[in-house]
Amino acid sequence: MNAFIYDIPMTKVYFDENQLANNLGVELQKLGKHVLLCFDNNNAKKTGIYNQIVGKVKKSGLELFELSGIESNHQLDFVREGVEICKEKQIDAILVVGDGSIIDSVKFISAATFYKEDDHHLSTRKPFIRKRIPIISILTLAKTNSEMNDVDVASNMETKKLLLDPGNDFTINPNQTACGSVDILTRLFEIYFIDNEMEKPLNMLEDLIKTVIKYAPLAIEKSDNYEARANLMWVSSWMINSYLNPQLNGVDQTYHSLEHELSAFYEITHGLGLSFLTPLWMKYVLSEKTVDRFYRYGINIWSLDSRKDKMSVAKEAIVKTAEFFFEMFKLDKEKDWDIKSYMRILKRTF
């Protein structure tokens, strides 16, 4: 994949290898002198990206402050600690290294720094945010599209910059790669399986879905496959995007909500839980009313026989989806599917 810069009002994306060396210092200098670096305790330093960033920032003559130990699902205590640093040190820009969950936390810090009421209201009341600290995100795992949407903070975000280097994903292990890929696919499904008859977004969604299906196994098989990582990373940046859902119809997030409950009780990774739940959700919502979209999904995504009746194709497409998930995680269909306590919950739910 060739290098490119993608610039829209909300986000400017630098996409290619060596973006840290070429653009990080330049972009930070445009924003001010005081930079807050946010990262987790393990991956940033283990992969070597921490040292690259610190060296580049200091070489640019900027004053760097750090907030480490960020959780994958942001905690309010961490957010408040970040807000205090931003206020005390008069932070001009926040530099975040991590996946979408970590970027979400930084969005919250960015907005809460100038919010005069209880910061919890940012989540519960969703107020209009007039001022925030600019963010530069260095994505390390293609997953949730947090790097290119306004979810978690507010709808009026000022320009932020994003450095996407697929090489940052080379150290991601096969299981986490599979989890991220499932998360990408299921977010695309949320948009694809709603009542939206606009042809262009549907065609784009199908292209994105097929891209994940093609490249996820390649990234799992060989972690430093640049082409595979690049394609997954760029697809993930489009999956929660109003361009793909222009009618602004509400998406069905049922299986995502259910999976959060499963993760809380059974400590399974979100993507793995989604791989169980999504085919069951598909089976549950399949009906005469929804069969046309599932039929299209089977024909255009899985190349099934269009001469068969629509319901047969739809059911076969759901099976294909489950089989793809099982293959990515190397799960045994008979052994790993039948998790007794897990299945009891599913039976009660469906």
Q: Is the pLDDT of residue 130 over 70?
A: no
The CATH number that domain 4-169 falls under is 3.40.50.1970
**Alpha-carbon gap, residue 134 to 106, rounded angstroms:** 10
The pLDDT of 59-85, averaged and rounded, is 79
CATH of 174-349 among 3.40.50.300, 1.20.1090.10, 3.40.50.2000, 3.30.230.30:
1.20.1090.10
pLDDT at 320: 92
Q: What angle is formed at CA 256 by the lines to CA 345 and CA 12, rounded to 5 degrees?
A: 165
pLDDT at 248: 45
pLDDT at 245: 63
pLDDT at 26: 83
Is the pLDDT higher at 164 or at 50? 50
Is the pLDDT higher at 318 or at 39? 318
Each domain of the chain, given as residue ranges in start order, spans 4-169, 174-349
Cβ proximity of 143 and 112 under 8 Å: no
**Radius of gyration for the chain, computed over Cα atoms and rounded to the nearest angstrom:** 21
pLDDT at 45: 74
Q: What is the DSSP letter of 23?
A: I
Specify the pTM: 0.62
Q: Is the pLDDT of residue 77 over 60?
A: yes
Q: Which of 15-24, 101-110, 319-328 has the lowest mean pLDDT?
A: 15-24
Is the pLDDT higher at 17 or at 328? 328
Question: How many other CB atoms sit within 10 Å of the CB of residue 92?
Answer: 18
pLDDT, tens digit, 9 for 90 and up, residues 213-247: 999 999 999 888 989 888 888 888 776 655 676 55
The pLDDT of 326-348, averaged and rounded, is 55
**Alpha-carbon gap, residue 98 to 143, rounded angstroms:** 11
pLDDT at 143: 47
pLDDT, tens digit, 9 for 90 and up, residues 271-326: 888 888 898 899 889 999 999 999 999 999 999 999 999 999 999 999 899 889 88
Q: Which of 68-72, 124-128, 338-342 has the lowest mean pLDDT?
A: 338-342
Q: What is the mean pLDDT of the chain?
A: 75
**The tokens 């009746």 sit on which residue?**
309
Cβ proximity of 34 and 4 under 8 Å: no
Work out the percent of the chain whose per-residue pLDDT is above 70. Answer: 65
Bridge-based pairing state of the strands 11-15 and 4-7: antiparallel
Is the pLDDT higher at 29 or at 163? 29
